[in-house]
Amino acid sequence: MGPPSSSGFYVSRAAALLLAGLAAALLLALAVLAALYGRCARVAPSELHHGGDQDAAPSPPGEQKESPPTRQSDPTLEPTVTATLGKGRPFGPWDQLRLPRWLVPLHYELELWPRLKPDELSAPALSFTGRVNITVRCAVATARLLLHSLFLDCERAEVRGPLSSGTGDATVGHVPVEDVWFALEMEYMVLELREALQPGSLYELQLSFSGPVYQDKREGLFLNIYMDQGARRALLASQMEPTFARNVFPCFDEPALKATFNITIIHHPSYVALSNMPKLGQSEKEDLSGSKWTVTTFYTTPYMPTYLVAFAICDYDHVNRTERGKEIRIWARKDAIANGHADFALNITGPTFSFLEDLFNISYPLPKTDVIALPTFDDRAMENWGLLMFDESLLLLQPDDQLTEKKTVISCIVSHEIGHQWFGNLVTMSWWNNIWLNEGFASYFESRVINYFNSKLSRNEIFFSDILHDVLKEDHALVSRAVSMKMENFTETNEINELFDLFTYNKGASMARMLSGFLNENLFISALKSYLETFSYSNAEQDDLWRHFQMAIDDQSQIVLPATIKIIMDSWTHQSGFPVVTLNVSTGIVKQEPFYRENVKNQTLLTHNATWIVPILWIKSGTTQSLVWLDKSSKVFPEMQVSDFDHDWVILNLNMTGYYRVNYDKLGWKKLNQQLEEDPKAIPVIHRLQLIDDAFSLSKNNYIEIETALDLTKYLAEEDEIIVWHAVLVNLVTRDLVFDVNNYDIYPLLKKYLFKRLTSVWNIYSTIIRENVAALQDDYLALISLRKLFETACLLGLEDCLQLSRELFKNWVNHPENEIPYPIRTVILCYGIALGSDKEWNFLLNIYTNNTKEEEKIQLAYAMSCSKDPWILNRYMDYAITTSPFIFNETNIIEIVAASEVGQYVAKEFLVNNWQAVSERYGTQSLVTLLYIIGRSISTDLQIIELQQFFSPMLEEHQRLTVHAKLQTIKNKNLKNKNQSARIAAWLRKNT
């Protein structure tokens, strides 16, 4: 998820009154809902769920504790408890996001009984019942207990204790519960007691409850419906992170409140139940209707937070292997297992565990690992201890995936989740403000594992492509997210969910990599070992991590830092953005300044005065130099000076381990250009990549002239690394610079300039495609870069690219078994249609109609919009709005056509006669989106007026106001791009 937006708005008094009325109505509705969700009828201890019938669940397993004996109803002991909302109650701890530290949970006896049956999959709603006994230690005397519970019906609430060690349950006392109520906003259940619990004593909270199984979202306990072996099937799985355990059972749902868990799952006999730990035993029970159910119990977990509690109930098969004496099982649909789709994941999971065990010298503590492939899992993957969960598209490898980047993607995600077994599971952050300690380090070690499995893949280029590039593109000084947040910044649970974003994962990983870069690998790993060992089965904060790094530094003398690790790293993790580091090679002066989008730093209100303590690893004329530090806004480094008359050159940020961009003065850029033209291979690949990426980013944001970035491309005839070409093309051949600015000079100039330089790299990869495409299957960087190379070559009219497109498309049409290579499939399909007739288009439509794979259907839908014939595109749009919606699912064909070269004009005319049908088919908002797509090239106020007049009958009043503002933004952007495009065209004329 991206960062939250921050914007304000103004409302009139009348609107305010209306909003106030709506708010009051909403509060009333919430009160009614809360009453429905929060009822808690008090029953005798022996009566469970349904008034004491045989459908009730048995006592949870664990330390062989017996249930309390059945007592006769005694109003002095068990007063009637009715749930209330807490409406009108004074301000109290239930208004705070964090639980009061009155109770410390030690152990959960959790039992769940979802009523899933294989012959009742069409039931409109599915629910579960359960009960939990929570052993707690009282830390502060209190007659009021708070724990988390959301959308659960409480059916019994008791407090037993104080517990007497060494005596039977019959001697255990009982603390009467006076009232149970719910504070919905902070998702609490509140138990009001007749007498206070005593500090230092142990108590047991006994709660029976029921709740819904979610079908439309993957949180809490949720349902997947899927097809397997030709039949419709279902499974249940859990997703507790970050705050969804409270949707499944009442609990102390904070990461620092670790406890042990004994889990029991009651399920239909045809299903298998999985949880964090191995199965302890099974028994059988009957419900009132005589149906038999299986009761599966599991061994006690280690101490862990509630967000790692996991279970699945499924009708799956598995493959297994043993790694260092511990069983690993990959669970998936029976079809997938039979066809070997889980084999790749099985083969890398064990070695990944072993690699990280050896790296940290800490054994994985659980006796087994189950890995399950879910048909649909919104969170992609989850690291639950002992039961890792994945969306099946990110775990299963099919035979036709050999020529995709899928192997590396699966390896990355599997290694990420396995990395969490140490970072997150063994050592957990104390609170969500430091979630980067989990996600950042798990992401960092992805590239380590990939390089372990495939030593030919460079860790530097992999890290840049997968992690660093994306976050540098999004991060800037005014963004509202630092990696490590202050705890007081959190007031609501939804703010916790928003932390799972690019900054936590990618910037967090970049922080770890920078730390490793300015230390050395051995010191870095040694400090992490110490940290993991010290906080095993416990919790840590960012300062704990820094303390262990400082200890490692203090124990040696080779590495000397300008400040403590805490001071250095806090300058990066506690503030947003990153610096631009600029070297003047004539003077040796290095300065830093915050990076701003479009370099708006001079605007009065946009100030960012902080600096970073910047580690600068660097090379001079190909030789690695000693680490230096920029610990102030500017500093002189005489050793970095070069003369216009020598052949020296300097590059800062060795291997791009530092989280910053680098700029140079004119002489610095000139010297690098000269070296690239004389001998580009003297500059390592990662730095050719860095120079291109930094220069184009800095020019786009007004730090340097565009001509400076373009000068770096002159040498490209000698560049055979496709990842470097990819960086050039995604920055230079863009729609907004070439096609949306109505600058008709730039296309032929760009075509002529690039043709001279593309030949070498084009010949390499076109030959591989024609002769031995299988050679690409382990070349991850090529697989992610090929599409842009082929797309650009065909776009610029390179005849060999067009001919290859014809060949591959025709070969596939005539012999469907000859698949188009996946990396260039989208390009080939598009040009197969663009260069063909209605015959090819009809063929593709028939393939689309009979295809069931969503990803392939989207590819085909886009390809059909590549036709150059207006009548075909009109037919396509007409077909989309007149046929069954299920034909095209949610794909908006009108938008796809409007985005194409010819379709921009055809779609506009089509809307004149069909806008009502389009609105009915795709919704009124689609008309607004279409307006933006059709108007993507506007650059004058007159064009805005014309477009608004054209769309005016189709839009509602509030949409017209929004549209006008958006069109002005598009116009301003295009004016800027038009100026940039003109400068590029002028440069091309001079250099072609």
Domain of 701, CATH number, reads 2.60.40.1910
DSSP string, 573-589: HSSSS-EEEEEETTTTE
Residue 905 — φ and ψ, nearest 5°?
A: -85, -35
Total domain count, the chain: 3
The answer as to whether 964 is a domain residue is no
3-class state of residue 847 by DSSP: helix
What's the whole-model pTM score?
A: 0.89
The answer as to whether 461 is a domain residue is yes
Which residue carries 């690394």 as its tokens? 721
Sign of the dihedral defined by the CA atoms of residues 529, 530, 533, 536, in that order: negative
How far apart CA 384 and CA 870 sit, in angstroms, is 53
* Domain boundary residue, one of 266, 288, 315: 315
- On average, the pLDDT of the chain sits at 88
Residue 878's identity, in one-letter code, is D
Average of per-residue pLDDT across 7-14 = 33
* Domain boundary residue, one of 551, 574, 597: 574
Which residue carries 């060999």 as its tokens? 800
Strands 174-175, 387-391: parallel, antiparallel or unpaired by DSSP? unpaired
Confidence of residue 13 (pLDDT cuts 50, 70, 90): very low
| pLDDT reading at 91 higher than 90 | no
Tokens representing residue 494 in the block:
């939804």
3-class state of residue 412 by DSSP: helix
Tell me the Ramachandran region of residue 161: left when phi exceeds 0, alpha when psi lies from -120 to 50, beta otherwise: left
In the prediction, which pLDDT does 231 show? 94
Determine contact, residues 248/97, Cβ cutoff 8 Å: no
Determine contact, residues 706/746, Cβ cutoff 8 Å: no
| pLDDT reading at 873 higher than 90 | yes
The helix or strand, by DSSP H or E, that contains position 539, with its residue range, turns out to be strand 538-540
Determine contact, residues 294/270, Cβ cutoff 8 Å: no
The answer as to whether 492 is a domain residue is yes
pLDDT in tens, 52-74: 333 333 333 333 333 333 333 33
Average of per-residue pLDDT across 307-320 = 98
Residues 506 and 585 in one domain: no
| pLDDT reading at 194 higher than 90 | yes
CATH code for the domain in which residue 544 is found: 1.10.390.10
Residue 953's identity, in one-letter code, is P
Average of per-residue pLDDT across 379-407 = 93
The answer as to whether 890 is a domain residue is no
| pLDDT reading at 154 higher than 50 | yes
Residues 673 and 543 in one domain: no
| pLDDT reading at 96 higher than 70 | yes
Is the bond preceding residue 162 a cis peptide, omega within 30 degrees? yes
The answer as to whether 362 is a domain residue is no
The answer as to whether 279 is a domain residue is yes
Catalytic residue set: 417
Which residue carries 């069954």 as its tokens? 884
Which residue carries 């009160």 as its tokens? 31
What are the strands of the beta sheet with 634-636, ordered from one edge? Answer: 634-636, 589-594, 579-584, 661-664
How far apart CA 304 and CA 260 sit, in angstroms, is 6
Tokens representing residue 242 in the block:
């970050």
Determine contact, residues 432/414, Cβ cutoff 8 Å: no
The answer as to whether 79 is a domain residue is no
Residue positions forming the annotated binding site for Zn(2+): 416, 420, 439
- Name which residue leads in pLDDT, 928 or 89: 928
Confidence of residue 86 (pLDDT cuts 50, 70, 90): low
| pLDDT reading at 493 higher than 50 | yes
Confidence of residue 210 (pLDDT cuts 50, 70, 90): very high
The answer as to whether 151 is a domain residue is yes
How far apart CA 238 and CA 389 sit, in angstroms, is 9
CATH code for the domain in which residue 249 is found: 2.60.40.1730
Residues 648 and 549 in one domain: no
Residues 437 and 452 in one domain: yes
Domain range enclosing 704: 578-712
Residues 187 and 134 in one domain: yes
In the prediction, which pLDDT does 316 show? 98
Residues 606 and 475 in one domain: no
Residues 623 and 636 in one domain: yes
- Name which residue leads in pLDDT, 39 or 278: 278
Average of per-residue pLDDT across 798-823 = 94
In the prediction, which pLDDT does 62 show? 32
Residue positions forming the annotated binding site: 416, 420, 439
Percent over 90 (pLDDT), the chain: 71
Residues 552 and 612 in one domain: no
Residues 251 and 152 in one domain: yes
Residues 560 and 589 in one domain: no
How far apart CA 747 and CA 161 sit, in angstroms, is 81
Tokens representing residue 57 in the block:
């669940």
* Domain boundary residue, one of 672, 687, 712: 712
Percent over 70 (pLDDT), the chain: 89
CA of 905: how far to CAs of 103, 711, 873, 977, in Å?
Answer: 67, 36, 10, 21
Tell me the Ramachandran region of residue 950: left when phi exceeds 0, alpha when psi lies from -120 to 50, beta otherwise: alpha
List CB contacts of 677: < 8 A, sequence separation 6 or more.
714, 715
Which DSSP state fits 59?
A: P
Confidence of residue 771 (pLDDT cuts 50, 70, 90): very high
Least confident segment among 523-537, 686-700, 756-770, 875-889: 875-889
Taking alpha carbons only, the member of 396, 411, 238, 420 closest to residue 317 is 396
In the prediction, which pLDDT does 51 show? 32
pLDDT in tens, 433-461: 999 999 999 999 998 998 888 888 889 99
Confidence of residue 172 (pLDDT cuts 50, 70, 90): confident
Residues 627 and 703 in one domain: yes
Residues 463 and 608 in one domain: no
